[in-house]
Structure 1
Amino acid sequence: MLGFYVALVAATGVERLAELVVSARNARWSSQRGGIESGRGHFPAMVALHTGLLVACVAEAVLAGRPFLPWLGWPMLVLVLASQALRWWCVATLGPRWNTRIIVVPGLPLVSGGPYRWMRHPNYVAVVVEGVALPLVHTCWVTALAFTVLNAVLLARFRIPAEERALREAVPRTR
C-alpha cells in the first residue's frame, strides 16, 4: 500500500500544479480588470506549508514505517477525494475570480452561489480536511497534527483576515 500512497501524494502534487496554472491564468484575467493583490507577505509561507505537507506525508510514511490501517485509511481517502471535489467546486463557482493569491477585482459583487451559498470560505474547509485526511490515509499522524496546527495559525492570523480586508475594501456593499 505504500506505493499506492506515494502515488496518491504525487497525484495531489500534480493537482497543485494544475491549480497554479489555473491561478496564473486567473491572475491575468483579474489584472486586466484592475485586480488588486493583497496579502503577499504570507503567500511564501503558504507555499512552503503546502509543499511541506506533501513531502512530510511521504517522509513520515517511509522513515517512520507507518502502516496502512484499512479502518482509518479508506475513510481518510474518501475525505481526501471529497476535499478535492469541494476545492474544484469552489474553483468552478468562482471561475476566473478564483486564485491561490488574494486578488480582488474592485466593484465585483461577492459570489454567493455554489458552496459559497452555505459558507464563507469553503476552499479553506477543503484545505483543512485534506490536511488532516491525506496524511492519515497512511497513519502519518505527526504530519497531520503539524500541518493542522500550522495551517490553523496561517489561516486565522494571516490569510482569512487579509482576504476579508481585501473584500471589504473592494466589494460594493449591498443591502
Structure 2
Amino acid sequence: MDISHSARAYLLFLGFIGVERLFELVLSARNARRALAAGGREVGQGHYRVMTLLHTAFLGSCVAEVLVLHRAFPGLLGWVALGGAVLAQFLRYWAISTLGERWNTRILFIPGARPVTSGPYRFVRHPNYVAVILEMVCIPLIHGGYLTALVFSVANAALLVVRIRAEEAALGAEYQRAFGARPRFIPGAAHEH
C-alpha cells in the first residue's frame, strides 16, 4: 500500500497519542490505588467500559478512515485541527497536573476531600472533558477524517451526559457549592445545566 508522507506523519502522531493514553492509564491505575487506600469510592463502573471501548475505537477509526478511505491532508483545515489537538493536550496535562494524585480516568472520590478549584478548574468544571471534546473533533480532521470526527463526537457527547451526571452526583454538596455557578465547558458562558 502506497502511503503519502502526510499520512505517515499523521499515523506517527496517532502513535504518539496512543502511547500518551497508555501512560495515562498507568498514572490512573497508580492514583486509583492511592485513592482506594485513602478510603476512596468508585462510581460509574458500567459506563467506564463503554468509555474505554469508545476511546480505543476512536484511534482505530482515525487510522482506518485515512488508510481505507484514502483521505488526503486537507491543507489549512488540517493545520487548524492540529493546532486544536495540540491545545487539547496542553489543557489535558494542565488538568492532570492540577489534580495531581486525584486525577483519574475512573470516577473515584474520597469522602471529605475538598474540591480542587485551581488551575483550569478556576474557569470551568470539566477542563479534561473539554480536552476530550477538542480531540474528538480535531484529531480526525488533521487528515480529513470527517466521518470519525462526526460519529465519535456524537457518541462522546452521549457518554459525557451520563458520566458528568455520575461524577457530579458522587462529588456531592461541597463540590456543588464550589462549582455550582461555574460553567461546565466554556469559560465565561452562562451556567450550563
For each residue in 1:109-155, what CA deviation from the matched residue of structure 2 results, as whole angstroms up to 9, or x when unmatched? 11000000000001000000000000000010000000000000000
Equivalent position to 1:87, from 92, 95, 99:
92
Aligned letter for 2:111?
P
Aligned letter for 1:162?
A
Equivalent position to 2:40, from 27, 35, 42:
35
CA distance in 2, matches of 1:166, 1:106: 9
Post-superposition, which runs of at least 4 consecutive aligned residues in structure 1 deviate over 3 A? Answer: 169-174
Question: Per-residue deviation at 1:171?
Answer: 5.5
CA distance in 2, matches of 1:115, 1:161: 20
Is this contact kept in 2: 1:35–1:104, CA < 8 A? yes
CA distance in 2, matches of 1:152, 1:61: 23
The residue aligned with 2:120 is: 115
Aligned letter for 1:138?
H
Aligned letter for 2:147?
V
For each residue in 1:82-124, what CA deviation from the matched residue of structure 2 results, as whole angstroms up to 9, or x when unmatched? 1011001100000000000000011011100000000000100
TM-score by length of 2: 0.87
Higher relative contact order (CA 8 A, sep 6+): 1
CA distance in 2, matches of 1:118, 1:173: 15
Q: How many residues in Structure 1 have an aligned counterpart in Structure 2?
A: 173
Is this contact kept in 1: 2:168–2:175, CA < 8 A? no
TM-score by length of 1: 0.96
Identical aligned pairs, as a percentage?
50
The residue aligned with 1:147 is: 152
CA distance in 1, matches of 2:163, 2:113: 20
The residue aligned with 1:24 is: 29
* Residues 1:77 and 2:91 aligned together: no
SS in 2 for 1:103: strand
Aligned letter for 1:46?
M
For each residue in 1:40-67, what CA deviation from the matched residue of structure 2 results, as whole angstroms up to 9, or x when unmatched? 0000100010001100001000111100
Is this contact kept in 2: 1:106–1:171, CA < 8 A? no
Question: Per-residue deviation at 1:32?
Answer: 1.3
- Residue ranges of structure 1 left out of the alignment (5+ in a row): none
SS in 2 for 1:143: helix
The residue aligned with 1:45 is: 50
The residue aligned with 2:69 is: 64
Aligned letter for 2:164?
I
Is this contact kept in 2: 1:108–1:171, CA < 8 A? no
| Closer, same or farther: CA 146–172 of 1 in aligned 2, 3 Å | closer
